[in-house]
Chain A
Amino acid sequence: MQWWGIIGWKLGNELQSHNFFLYYHLVKFCIAIFLLFFASLYAQQDTITMDISVSTDKTMPIGVVNFDLDKGNWSKLDELPHKTLARDFLLSGRFTTVELEQYNLLTLSRAQAKHYVTGSLSLLGNQATLECRLYATASQELVKGFAYIGPLEQIRTSVHKCTDNIVYQLWGVQGFASTKIAFVSKIDGKKQIVVSDYDGFRRKQITRDNSVNFLPAWSRDNSKIYFTSMRNGKPQIFERNLGGSSDKHLFPQIDQAFGPAVNPKDGTLLFSIIGQNGTDIWLGNPQTGNAARLIYTKDIEVSPSWSPYGTAFLFSSDKGGAPQIYMALKDGSDMQRVSFMGKYNESAVWSPDGDKIAYCSMEGGKFNIYTSSIDGSDVQRLTSEGNNERPTWSPDGMAIAFSSNRSGSSQIYIMRRDGSGVTRITNAGENSSPVWSNLIKGESP
């Protein structure tokens, strides 16, 4: 009651002094306090609201309780649903998981997991039913449930959808558990383009010729892969429609071209060409086949990467003696150097939020992954073990995939954007150059 009294007194004072500007702000402040007070009351009752105190680089603890499995033969499943779910949470860069065989309030509370997920999987004929339920830890109240029915082979996809739904429920944003990655895999000693789920499962080989196929890039709608191939004895850019099996040679008017990057707004391609006077960056339209030079010096300019708005791009140039990262506007103007630390900085990629870049930097013959602000400040090294190359951002910017030879062979890894939670997603052979697919906006999880 005294509180109200104070505000009332203050209001009176302000009115008396006829300072309407201050008065206006004071009223706004009072209303905000009032609303926050009731919002907090509401939040305690509603378990769905997300914890706004979780900063982007802190993770939200969540429990994953083993799913109930119907009696039946689950040997066709390459992984049990709660295992897939737990890894999805880890790879999302948003959660730390507490894996439990059954609900345990103490363990979940100790881990500060305010929510947990469990569910069931049952089989009726050829149809599998996956049920996935998000609960509040303390009350064991159901927050939201999801069910998917489909053939057993689709269960992995359904678990990813479930992850995306829970991310949406708890964070209010679209997750990437249903995205894919394209990468390069050595098959019978030849580099081939391969596409898989973002977690490395369900691989599909895209190219099959006997040459070298590398440097993949996704079209904006994920329906096509652009890549570089040496099948004609020189580097050239090709387009593969993922529904088909034939390739279209893009920009045949250019003798040697490689390393395309897709503009996220208009679909045009930046790429490198090898000309009479060095390696330059060109801009081309894959639909019309038109292309024109953009950055042309006697030096080497490679590895273009668009800003998320498609208005500027990063690339590497060795005009200072060794490759360093530069930025230019869409028309090639206003070229500015971005990286100043390190002697060899390459493969820069612009974060989806637009505020950061990830790149690799060579020291003593080994590459490591770094991030920095787009002006080159705030440099952070994210890896230290082995040789680490080719960073690619998850579509929401929470995670970075890259290739590393730390295990003895080149494999693909995903880590959180602060370098923690490193998880290997490929195991056999030699895999490199991951490129994350796009999140199609508005596609409901």
Chain B
Amino acid sequence: MKATVPILAIGFCIGIFACAKKKEPVYVEPPPPPEREYVREEPVRQAPQEDPLEAERRRLEELMNKIMSDDVYFEFDQATLTASAKDILTEVGTILKRESRFTVLTEGHTDERGTENYNLGLGMRRADAVVKFLTNYGVASSRLTKVSYGEEQPKAAGSSEEAWAQNRRAAFRVKINN
């Protein structure tokens, strides 16, 4: 019974957090509901205590955000990994090897130049290059999925070289598997 209150509170906090950050969904699975106990209680609003569960949650979330902010950039019409792209992927790969519950969706994107059709192919080629690097690095391929968005989801608006450079990228979405 005593253990239920903080667990519900944490669940509640996670709920609020998930709602607040709707634009960038964080796929944190709530902790498994307590077994046997069916007493429903209103969750008590209180500051999260320094609980090992909470600390772990925060640690995982930081790692996930780290991976999701690590976009990998490409040259025009290219899917070859640059030196800085490989540095980023090494960091990502290291985290993934340590956190075996993480699964990652790699999105391939292109800039607006080129045709919509061809850019869907090019986006996938970029996602392929990233996934290939990570599997060679030692991440199980079963944990890595990929999708191409082509030129359909630019990160930066506009038709400048700066915007294009931002948009030629592979981006990550991380989930925790139990």
- Residues of chain A having any CB pair with chain B under 8 Å: 191, 212, 214-215, 230, 233-235, 256, 258-259, 272, 274, 278-279, 300-303, 316, 318, 322-323, 344, 346-347, 360, 362, 365, 367, 389-390, 433
Contact = CB atoms under 8 A, between A and B. Distances in A.
A323 B153 CA distance: 22
Contacts of A259: 116-117, 120
A323 B125 CA distance: 14
Nearest to A211: B152
Interface in B104-132: 113-118, 120-122, 124-125, 128
Contacts of B149: 230
Given A230-B149, A300-B118, 10 more contacts: A215-B117, A230-B152, A234-B147, A235-B120, A259-B117, A274-B120, A302-B117, A347-B115, A362-B114, A390-B115
Nearest to B127: A274
Nearest to B148: A274
B31 to A, nearest CB: 26
Contact of A278 (B113, B115, B121, B150): B121
B150 to A, nearest CB: 8
Interface in B74-116: 77, 113-116
- Size bracket, chain B contacts: 10 to 19
B122 A300 contact: yes
Nearest to B147: A234
B60 to A, nearest CB: 23
A316 B117 contact: yes
B109 to A, nearest CB: 12
B116 A215 contact: yes
Given A214-B152, A235-B148, A256-B148, A302 B120 contact: yes
A303 B115 contact: yes
Which 4 pairs from chain A and chain B are nearest by CB? A300-B121, A279-B121, A302-B117, A212-B152
Contacts of A272: 117, 120-121
Contacts of A322: 77
A256 B147 contact: yes
Interface of B: 77, 113-118, 120-122, 124-125, 128, 147-150, 152-153
B152 A191 contact: yes
A318 B125 CA distance: 12
Given A212-B152, A233-B147, A234-B147, A274 B121 contact: yes
A214 B116 contact: yes
B168 to A, nearest CB: 14
14 contacts: A230-B149, A233-B147, A256-B124, A256-B147, A272-B117, A272-B120, A302-B115, A302-B121, A303-B118, A316-B118, A318-B118, A344-B114, A346-B118, A390-B115
Nearest to B124: A274
Nearest to A390: B115
A101 B120 CA distance: 52
B26 to A, nearest CB: 16
Contacts of B118: 300, 302-303, 316, 318, 323, 346
A346 B128 CA distance: 22
A274 B148 CA distance: 8
A347 B121 contact: no
Contacts of A390: 115
Contacts of A278: 121, 124-125, 128
Nearest to A215: B116
A346 B116 CA distance: 10
A279 B114 contact: no
B61 to A, nearest CB: 22
Contacts of A323: 115, 118
A362 B115 CA distance: 10
Contacts of A346: 114-115, 117-118
A196 B118 CA distance: 26
A367 B116 CA distance: 13
A302 B118 CA distance: 6
Contacts of A235: 120, 148, 150
A234 to B, nearest CB: 5
Nearest to B146: A274
A215 B117 CA distance: 8
Given A230-B149, A234-B147, A256-B148, A389 B121 contact: no
B147 A258 contact: no
Contacts of A214: 116, 152
Given A278-B125, A279-B124, A322-B77, A303 B148 contact: no
